[in-house]
Amino acid sequence: MTLLNPRQQEILDFVRGYHLDRSYMPSVREIQAACEISSTSVVDYNLRILEREGFVRRSPDISRGLELVGTEEKEPQIEIFQIPVLGSIAAGEPIPVPESEGWRSEGSETITLPPELATRNPEELFALRVKGYSMIDALITDGDIVVLTPTSQARNGDMIAAWLPLEETATLKRFFLEGDMVRLQPENKQMDPIMVPAGNVQVHGRVVGVIRRMN
């Protein structure tokens, strides 16, 4: 492991910070002024050491001909995940869904998953497009896309994609089991909950994120 003296570390830190802020390198005189070094020859001497130790590369014939070497100059690699948008779901009154088997069929539309959601086993996730306004108090509105993890189980308060097989309809609501009934609760004070027998509710997914519609 290379040990730099305080002066060399100060120069390296300044160069890194300068490049991060401006996307180009400082001049020798800027390094001299910022680090309060007595002369440009002292800067040059320390830059030669930083180059020898593999921290920078220099091109003496080019103005600001300094290049950072190593992990500090590399952009972090973010893996991009795309998940299928498998249809629409009502955030209002339940609406019929053509495929009563649920939404796990192959969809032609995909959407790029935000990085904060890509930590949740993204290969298992799917998305549904929201229709209606029953979940606006949860900041989910018409045209938004909800990201779900497939599950057949729900806890009280979970926001779920519910399939009602007798009616052959689907809806996006919060789930509450109350005896032998399920209350499908909207997040809109102007709308009433939907009460259905527990045997007539199938949970097909739990919401783990929302991708907002951009107007």
Could you tell me the residue ranges of all domains in the chain? 6-73, 82-211
**Active site residue: 27, 108, 173, 189, which one?**
173
User: Is the pLDDT assigned to residue 202 strictly greater than 60?
Assistant: yes
Exposure pattern of 98-137 as b/e (b: 16+ CB <10 Å)?
A: eeeebbeeebeeebebeeebbeeebeebbbbbbbbbbbbe
C-alpha to C-alpha distance for 85 and 163, rounded to whole angstroms? 17
Q: Which class would CATH give 6-73?
A: mainly alpha
Task: Report pLDDT digits (tens) over 78-130.
Answer: 456 788 888 888 876 665 544 434 444 444 688 887 766 665 566 788 889 99
C-alpha to C-alpha distance for 77 and 175, rounded to whole angstroms? 38
pLDDT at 130: 93
Is 189 labeled as catalytic in the residue annotation?
no
C-alpha to C-alpha distance for 81 and 190, rounded to whole angstroms? 37
Closest by Cα among 67, 62, 33 to 50: 67
**Active site residue: 59, 105, 134, 152, which one?**
134
User: Is the pLDDT assigned to residue 215 strictly greater than 60?
Assistant: no
- Does the pTM surpass 0.85? The reply is no
- Looking at every residue in the chain, the average pLDDT score rounds to 83
More confident of the two residues 210 and 114: 210
pLDDT at 118: 62
Task: Report pLDDT digits (tens) over 134-180.
Answer: 999 999 999 999 999 889 999 999 999 999 999 888 999 999 999 99
Give the 3-state secondary structure percentages of the chain, helix then strand then coil, rounded to 5.
Answer: 25, 30, 45
For residue 146 the two structure tokens come to: 């909800």
Q: Which residues contact 167 (CB under 8 A, 6 or more apart)?
A: 94, 200
Q: CATH homologous superfamily for 82-211?
A: Umud Fragment, subunit A (2.10.109.10)
pLDDT at 183: 97
Is 173 labeled as catalytic in the residue annotation?
yes
